[in-house]
Amino acid sequence: MHNIPYKKHVLVCLNETCKCQGSDKVFEKLKARIKELDLKKTYRPSRVLCLGLCGKGPNIVVWPEGTVYCGFTEDRVEDLIQKHLLGGEVLNDLLYKENISG
């Protein structure tokens, strides 16, 4: 069992590299849509500074499952909300795919 105050917590990297790739637009749209849909009490977007995947961005992580999405663009925010957050469906085409070694 996870002890987090929200059903899901979406961390959006807003450090330099991801920001240059548009993560600020992803964050603002995600925040606005969560508010418009009256989901603020259960789904929380937060800014973070670097997820260690610079150059693959914009990068985001969804908790508690720890799903990492790379190359996440503004036009996929609605998919994230409707499919992943509300529907429990992972967006396979955006998943971080490299394996951890060692």
Residues of this chain that interact with ligand FES (CB under 6 A) are 13, 15-18, 50-54, 57, 59
Q: Which is nearer to ligand FES, 15 or 91 (CB)?
A: 15
Half-sphere exposure of residue 44: CA atoms within 13 angstroms, side-chain side: 13
6 three-state secondary structure:
coil
List all residues 6 or more positions away from 9 whose beta carbon is below 8 Å from its beta carbon: 43, 44, 46, 62, 63, 64
Q: How far is the CB of 38 from ligand FES (least distance, A)?
A: 29
CB of 55 to ligand FES, least distance (A): 8
Rounded to a whole number of angstroms, the minimum distance from the CB of residue 13 to ligand FES is 3
